[in-house]
Each structure stands twice: as structure tokens, then as C-alpha cells.
Structure 1
Amino acid sequence: MNLNLSEKAISISPSSTLAIDAKFKSMKAKGIDVVGFGAGEPDFDTPQHIKEAAIKAINEGFTKYTPAAGMPGLKEAVCRKLKKDNNLAYSPEQIVISNGAKHSLVNVFTAICNPGDEVIIPAPFWVSYPEMVKLADGVPVLLPTNEKNQFKFTIDDLKKVVTSKTKALVLNSPSNPTGMIYTEDELKEIAEFAVQNNIYVVSDEIYEHLIYDGLKHVSIASFGEAIKDLTIIVNGVSKTYAMTGWRIGYTASNAKIAKVMGNVQSHATSNPNSIAQVAAIAALDGPQDEIEEMKKAFVERRNYMVDRINSIEGLSCSKPQGAFYVMMNINSTFGKEYYGKTINNSDEFADLLLEKANVALVPGSGFGAEGYVRWSYATSMQNIVEGLNRIEKFLNNEL
């Protein structure tokens, strides 16, 4: 009897962001004075009216199965949101509600990929994209970008990697981990390219409301019916409403893709959490004031972090335009010795920083961005100040 485990499953790498966060929490539980910047979740509480909607649902016994692809009321709320925020008209049968945007992405790649299909993923990328594509029997094709171009790809870059096997392009704006956004003109060019080459665009818009400096989010699906039909929008309530643990994400796509995703989900999870779905309706339809308060705090933290990093000899970073991450350039530390150890890559930098300074950052290797580490400023200003103080002492061999 062959008891070998699945080769495909074995090939999947663990999430580096969750691994760092787990190590940080383990150290903290042991009483170690560690400061963590790995988690991708707002440090704010879920707004009260959303929590009250969930409590009401529990008290009213709304604790049973819902339709597999989500309850009609939440699908309708998503349609209203897409019309209001993005000027996009969708009907409920084009919406699939899932257990978080991460689950939505798994559904997307499962629905569109056949063995050998290629999915273009610009780097730096969110750590889970390539692994999700591999799980769906697709082939991740990494498209390098550089900091000089704000970590954004161009049409010329795309032309170099498109083949007859290209099925889809992943577009994440604002980006995790870089925080950069694509302009309206850039998105128009990408849309035209996708239509000309008949390529799906998986548009991850989970950070759409966390954009700063007067810039605005534009969905690539808004440039006409042709690109809208090829676009699969992925979004959710986790980042905008500080609801990471509630696990509600959603997709908007053409009805054919939505039906396939709904079928897959019906066998995988039965349905998203019923109580969290009610809470998500309250989030989408209710007051949006607290988003602006959260954004103000993020802007203050971002500005301090960027200015401070760029003032430390040997470090640098670009100012992110959205989300709540900073990619810090550490290339100048490579080949240098700190505390008896020579730094050769971002993993060694992050490991030694955690060991000596008790500061948890995510190495860029997991994002396809060697030479960088990612900070999250979704934490208190006190932690940010302390973390930057420690890293400055670390680099000066003063610990």
C-alpha cells in the first residue's frame, strides 16, 4: 500500500507572515519583551454597530446553514457597495461570499486554472498567491518589479512573460507588501492588454479604502464590459472594518465563474459563518465614519516610520500610498557583520534582529523581494517608536 503524502501539498510553503506572527506571539507568551510588526491586521476594534448586529443575530437564533455561496441579503449589500464605491453594476448571482478574501482567492484559482495554466504574479507579492496557484494545479509566473518604478510592472514587462499558456494576471492595488497603487492611466493600459490577450485579471482590492494623500482607488473592472467580464474582483471586510477574525470575503465576477466557485465552496465549507455574514451587512450598509479615523492614525504612523527609517544610516524605504505596510531596503547590510554573524539575506537579517533586538519583521524572501523586510504599521505608535529605536541600536552594535 502506498502511504506517500500528496506531492502537491508537500510542495506548498508555509505562510512566512503567519510564521513570524506565531513566533512573535510565542515569545510574548513567555514574557519576552518582543515588538512585532508581522501581522496584517488593523489594531483597532471592530465598530460597535457591527458587533451589535452579530449579537442580535445570535440572540435571534440565526445560527444555521445559509446558502453555500452566501445569504441573499449580504450579496445584495455587496452589490450596493460595488455600485456606490466603484460604479460597478453586479447582480447577486455574480457574487460569492466566502470565509475571508483568502478563501475567495483559493476559490478563484480553483475555478479558472487547469493543469499547466500560467498565472502572472508581480513581485513583490502577497506570500499566498503562488502557493494558491500551485494548489489549483496552475503555474505561478513571477514578474519582478523594482523600487525605482514604485514596485509596479509596465506593459513592456507583461509582454516579456505572456505565453500561450497564460490564463490570468494577479493585480493587487493597493499592494501588500509595498503599499503602492496603480494609477487610472496605468490600469487602463493593463485592462486593454488583458482584453487584447484574453487574460483573466484577478483584482485583489482588499485594501481599497486604506489609501492616503488624496489618492483614490479605481477598480480595473470599471473600464468597460470587456474587461469587467474578464475581471474577478476579490474583496472583504477584514481590513476596512477591522474584522480579520470574522472571516468574510467576497468575489464579483461573471456569472459563469461565480457558479463554479459557488459549487466548489458548497463541497469545501458548506457556507460562510452565518453570524459573521449578518455583521458584514452591517459593516457595508452602516456608518463609515470609523474608517476615516483609522486612516488618520495609519497616516501618522506611516509618516513617522518612513521618516525615521530614512534617517537611519544603511536603511531606506519608499513612502507607501495605501494599505499599512512599509518595505524597508536592507541591501546595504548584506556582507556586513553584526554580533559575530555576517548578514547575507533578508532571512538572516530578520532572524538576527529577532534574536538580538526582539523585533519581529517579515523577510522579503517570502514576498519575492530579497533585500527587503516588511514592517506593518497596524500597531501602536509606541510600538513603532520602540521598534525603530531597537533596530537603530541593532545596526550600531549597541545592544
Structure 2
Amino acid sequence: MYETYAEALGASPLPLAFVDLDVFDANARAMAERTSGKPIRVAGKSVRCRALLERVLCAQHGMKGVLCFHPDEAVFLFGKGLDDFLVAYPSLRQDSLRRVAEAVARGATIRLMVDHLAQAKLADRIARDAGVILPLCMDIDMSLSLPGLHAGVRRSPLSDETRALALYREIARLRHVRLEGVMGYEAQVAGVGDAQPGRPARNALVRFCKRLSRSLARERRARVVAALREAGAPVTLVNGGGSGSLASTAADPCVTEIGAGSGLFAPHLFDAYREAVWRPAAGFVLEVARIPGPGFVTCGGGGYVASGPSAPDRLPRPWLPEGLALLPLEGAGEVQTPLSGDVGGLEPGDKVFFRHAKAGELCERFNELVLIQAGKVVGRVPTYRGEGMQFM
């Protein structure tokens, strides 16, 4: 694989980020096979490249619509010909919401996320001024609370049907918004690895929490959706899950779609999932700039650290050639990244391939992705950043 990629990239200026389209397409098919026919709403933040979003949405792999991380992302993509957006995070940016309302007036389908009345009221006021009805989706907390342990993410305060109904009754009084969907993202199932090497006790605890959380998510989503529909809410969309819970979320009869995208690139955090069904499709390439001593090489650049808790698993990992490792006291540096191990015959100017810890975040570092197919470079496409779209 190293020789294939290195030969394909030839003398391309480094650093660069790339995607193997053959693996990307295979990952899309593998993901779709896990959902029993339920559509996958592609997570834009996990891809952050319009051309690749268009590719996977047009390929009949069971992908339908985009799960956006910012309202301006939805407006941008609509302006480029895509449609059917669910904005996964609430926003109080008035200028962004005005652009959403204008896009809806032009025919866009953009659903905004809410978990507080203030968000709904602002959307209602902006929709009124634009003369449109804005569809809303209610975010329901799917976290698991045990004595001394909170499993999940701190996002929505709506943890049961009572709180969801209270918010809906207030939303129902507004004239220019309409609640159409429910999201229940079981992050502790979809986004936590349960097969980390050398950590059997942690893996056992994570698997235990996942078993409890799957039951909790199914029951809570069902209760909330039933209560909202009984109260008159026209809920037709129920979103849940992620790349790490495709099968279990699809098995929930309440869920109408699964939000997922990381499995398309398969960053290295997903190596620690027992149910992973994908292979690495994306990475970045650095140039060997120095050889500081026997058993070491130093690459230029590389400090592409992923978000989340500060820990070694958020660092990029050397991938190809095999046998290289970051130095624990230096890690991945802003302008240089030293490596140790089986440096083989690496010389200044040679390539070292890395995998990022998370999926789309790598695209915030590069203006374009180099596309490889059948061992050859077949194109270069801009990332969101390359199109001047940095939303956060």
C-alpha cells in the first residue's frame, strides 16, 4: 500500500490530505448494509468536502440528506444544488438564521435543532419577518446516568417526555415554526470505542454501558415521540445513532434515519470499535525533512490534533510505512513531527502517511483533498475550507 500511494502522489507538494475513492465507496456500501434499509443522513462535519458529499449522496448507497453542524453549512450546500438538511446543533446567530429563512423561501428543506424555548422564539421571529414557516427538530438527551458515572454527552436538557412536552406546548403557540422531528443521539454507543488494545477493564465497562444505553435510547425515543404525536406534533423524522451504532440504531422501530459519516473516512479512533465495518480511506502525507539520528526521522508539519479530551488518542498516528511511532515527549508538532522505529531506508524527501484521529476535522487544515482511485490520482477537490467556508 505504501508503494502504491507514494507512486500515485509522485512529486506532489507536501503536506497534503488524500482520499482513496475505492475504499471510500466500499465504506459507504458497508455502512448502508448495516442499517437494514433505513437511510443514512450523512454527517457534514465528518466529511467537510462538498464533492465527496455529492458523491456519496448520488451513489445509491442508502445515503439521504445531510446532517449539518451549522446553519450556514446548510445554506452553502443548498446554494450548490444539494437539499434536505437537518442542522444538528442549535444556533442563536441571527444572521445565519436569516439566511436559512431566505433559503427556505427559495424552496430549501432545512430543519433547525432546538432544546430551549429561546431558540424556538428566535427562529419564529426570523421566520415571521421572512414570511416562511421554519421546521424544527427537538434534541432529546440520550445520556446514561449511573451512581458516580455519566455516560454520554452534555447537550440537551430534555431527558424525558415530560420536559419534551413542556417545550412542545410552548412551540405550538408560535405561528412561524413547526416541530417536525426528534433527534436522540446515543453518543456513548455511537462514539466510544469498546476494543482499545491493552485496556480490558475499560472495554468491559464501555460494553456494559452500551448495553444499558441501547435499551435506554430505544425506550426514551419511543416515549418522547409517542407523547409528542399524541399532543399533536407532526413528527415524521426521528434521527439517531452514528457510525459506531449503525445496526443497533437501525433496529429501533421508532428511528426513521441514522446520522453518520465518520465511517466513510475511518479515522483511527474507530479502530477501537468491535463492530467496525470499514477500512482507512483518508489520511495526510508529510515529507521526511530531517534524520536526527539512527532510528529516527523528522517530518515537516503534522500537528493536526483532534478535538475532545486531551489524550494521546487525539494525536494523528503514523500509518505507512509501518513500524513508526510518535515520540511521547514531542508528539505531533506544529512545524515538525519526529518519529522513531523502523525507519528502514527513509531519506529526506520521502513520504510518511498518517491517519487523523477523527474524520472531517482534518479538512480544516487543508484547502483540498487529493483523490486516488485504482492507484492513480484522479482529481483534486476543495474542502469546505478551500471554498472559503469555515463555519466554526
* TM-score calculated relative to the size of structure 2: 0.29
TM-score (structure 1 length as normaliser): 0.29
The structure with more strand, counted as a fraction of residues:
2
Q: Whose helix fraction is larger, Structure 1's or Structure 2's? A: 1
